[in-house]
Amino acid sequence: MKSVAFFTNKGGVGKTTLVCNLAAYLSTYENKKVLLVDADPQTNATQYMFDDLVLDEIYDKKSAFTIYSLARPLSQGKGFSANYEFRRSPSFGVDVLLGDPRLALIEDTLASDWNSGGVRGIRTTYMFRKFLQDCSDYDYVFFDMGPSLGSINRAVLISSDHFILPLSMDIFSIRATENIASWLKEWKRRLDLHLQALTDPEETEIDDLSFKLGLLGYVNQQYTAKRDKTGERRAVKAYEKIMLEVPKAIESSLINNNEPSDLDYKLGSIPNLHSLIPMSQNSRKPVFELKSSDGIVGAHFVKVKEAHEIFENISRNFRCNLEAFG
């Protein structure tokens, strides 16, 4: 099992669209068993993948098992959750640990425990690593995350094997890579100090306390593209100029010497899919599975086919990079 966080500290880049559709493609067309964890208190992935009956259980009845159900006992000093409940998204074909707005209530506890250190601090910081120990039946566990650099996202990133960086084609996303790199370096430094201070690491109940996180790749998103004379889809010049700056920014900030030297970090590109995205959200189906019954007409069918090709390419590069890490 490999755990992958989809993260950037800039909002509005299409992160949830990427993680949900890639998970669906890997499940549907690559026969992979995928668990998606909605670790964003905004619960966008959950709202995207489930109908209103499930959302009613979360928001109104508060009867569903969610990520808050997993985190709350530990925050109360009751230990790790012993049992988990996942929901199957029938249209996306993946299991989901449902999101919950109440997860934001855990933020202060995680921050306080991180500053205090000790066994409790390590246990709460690694709560998702403990959770992942029980997810070995899956090929991949994906985390959808909010755009903050807060304690919830820190706990997810410290617990994960890899992260994927979704980038909108603007200068702000490029600057965000430098910011992320600085925070990751500082988190690792602080974590090393906390671990060195432990007298008995076994008390944490975590099998592996190493900081394993590495960049798996990035995806260019939300740009305008046109077909050139050869029929290849290319970004228009205004976006292409920024796109050419991305590899340099990634290499200078987020790639370290421990990662495979021949890795192609560009997993793919997702141009602006325009009306396909709201259609996908309204039908709660992957963008490449939209049909006429979902409102697809005329030229939309070509765009749906293109979306399938886009996620096929990202899926192939995703699996290739994972194999390179071993």
Please give the pLDDT value at position 101: 95
Q: What does the alpha-carbon distance between residue 175 and residue 172 come to, in Å, rounded to a whole number? A: 5
Cα torsion angle, 143, 145, 149, 150, sign: negative
Can you list the domains of the chain with their CATH numbers? 2-274 (3.40.50.300)
Which pair of structure tokens corresponds to residue 208?
């592996």
Predicted local distance difference test score (pLDDT) of residue 221 = 80
Whole-angstrom Cα distance, residue 124 to residue 145? 18
Secondary structure class of 23 (helix, strand, coil):
helix
pLDDT tens digits, the chain, 326 residues: what are they? Answer: 999 999 988 777 889 999 999 999 999 999 999 999 999 999 999 999 999 999 999 999 999 999 999 998 887 777 788 789 999 999 999 999 999 999 999 999 999 999 998 999 999 999 999 999 999 999 999 999 999 889 999 999 999 999 999 987 777 777 778 888 889 999 999 999 999 999 888 888 888 999 999 999 999 886 565 665 555 665 556 666 777 777 777 777 777 656 666 788 999 989 888 899 999 999 999 999 999 999 999 888 999 999 999 999 999 999 999 999 87
Query: What's the pLDDT score for residue 41?
Result: 95
- Count of CB atoms situated within 10 Å of the CB of 112: 14
Strand ranges (E), 132-198: 140-144, 162-168
Token pair belonging to 98: 């449902």
Do 40 and 99 form a contact (C-beta atoms < 8 A)?
Answer: yes
pTM of the model: 0.92
Query: In terms of residues, how long is the chain?
Result: 326
Torsion of CA 201, 203, 208, 209, to 10 degrees: -50
Distance CA 84, CA 97 (A): 8
pLDDT at site 239: 66
